[in-house]
Amino acid sequence: MDERIKDTIVKYGWKILQSEEFDATFHQTHHLNRTVGDHTLGVAAEAVKLCMKRAMTDERTLKNVVVSSLCHDLGIMGRNEKYRNNAQCLVRHPLDSIEIYIRITGEQDERVIDAIKHHMFPLKPGAPRHREGWILTLADKIAASKEKTGRAMLSAGDTGEIMERAGVMHEGKTGMHSF
């Protein structure tokens, strides 16, 4: 993976990556054979890559894309206990993710909130209003498509390196990989 992508994720996402909420994501399965953490880091990497390909590299856009990517599925944690079915999860987890984003970061950026709220488009009505939301939505669909066919967005080594650069050290096995 391009070192600039890793650096960008850590630069804007370190606070989220160091949170207890994010740590928990490596202990819940998502898209058959990955964890929520694997998926979320893959979405963030794909979103940054999409931004770089389109010369959308201004500070505000990159920060918003990284933060919204890392937070977009935090509300899905505990899904079997919180939601009655997949339809309820589809509707509710973006709203729960927004609450967690605000709690972790202490921020309420309107573009980040819009991106997280609408990342399930077109499965859920309501399209994103800003480019950060469209980037997150596309990156999320690319990641989900790959993961549902058994392919990882990131290697375990890339995941571990991003987490270590963010100051997160794990011992032993977490999720589907060790780092």
**What does the pLDDT read at residue 80?**
93
In angstroms, the CA 102 to CA 88 distance is: 22
Distance CA 14, CA 148 (A): 28
Q: How far apart are CA 46 and CA 44, in angstroms?
A: 6
**pLDDT at residue 100, rounded to an integer:** 98
* CA distances from residue 129 to 61, 72, 80, 118, 136 in whole angstroms, order as listed: 14, 16, 30, 9, 12
**158 domain-assigned:** yes
| Residue with the two structure tokens 């987490």 | 163
The answer to whether position 174 is within a domain reads no
Domain span at 145: 3-168
141 within a domain of the structure (yes/no): yes
Number of folded domains in the chain? Answer: 1
CATH of the domain at 69: 1.10.3210
Residues 61/132, Cβ–Cβ less than 8 Å: yes
In a domain, 84, yes or no: yes
Closest CA to 175 of 152, 142, 145: 152
Averaged over successive runs of 10 residues, the pLDDT of the chain (179 residues) comes to 97 98 95 90 98 97 98 97 95 98 98 98 96 98 93 93 89 41
Whether residue 113 lies inside any domain: the answer is: yes
Q: How many residues does the chain have?
A: 179
Enter the pTM of the model. Answer: 0.94
Does a structural domain hold residue 163? yes
- What pLDDT does residue 170 have? 58
Domain contains 177: no
Question: 45: burial class by Cβ within 10 Å (0-12, 13-18, 19+)?
Answer: buried
